[in-house]
Amino acid sequence: MLSIVYTSRARDAFTDEDLDALLGQSRANNDRLDLSGMLLFREGRFLQILEGPDDDLRRKMAAISGDPRHTDVTVLLDEPVDSRFFGRWTMRYESVDDQDAAELPDDATDFERLAGEVSSGDTSALRELIRWFQEKPAA
């Protein structure tokens, strides 16, 4: 089992309808591929956690990297896991609002800053963000 966390930037503004369409497509594809995960969206940036069988997840990441709806795809974590973090959801979604952002430690919703920290070897804020959303009741 593999877990990959990446961030990317939307090429164009995403409306609620665009996000609904993306989620519908993602959930159907993930169900078919036995993938699970979570998608966060804030200020034109995505942070996604995907988990599942190694080969299927690697193929999914190749498709995501080529998706024209976003750019600057940056893998933050790519690691084997014993169990799923978000196994109950084919794709849980959270739009991180200002109230959520204020509750998170160290402004963990600054996805660009997280990417910089991870590239320097510090995954603590990213792991805290993942843990926070695991424990947060689904909307």
CATH number at residue 17: 3.30.70.100
Q: Please, are residues 108 and 126 in contact by the beta-carbon 8 Å criterion?
A: yes
Average pLDDT, stretch 106-112? 64
136 pLDDT tier (thresholds 50, 70, 90): confident
Average pLDDT, stretch 24-42? 90
108 pLDDT tier (thresholds 50, 70, 90): low
Range of the domain at 52: 2-135
30 pLDDT tier (thresholds 50, 70, 90): very high
The total number of structural domains in the chain stands at 1
Phi/psi of residue 49, each to 5°? -110, 125
pLDDT at 91 over 80: yes
Stated pTM of the model: 0.84
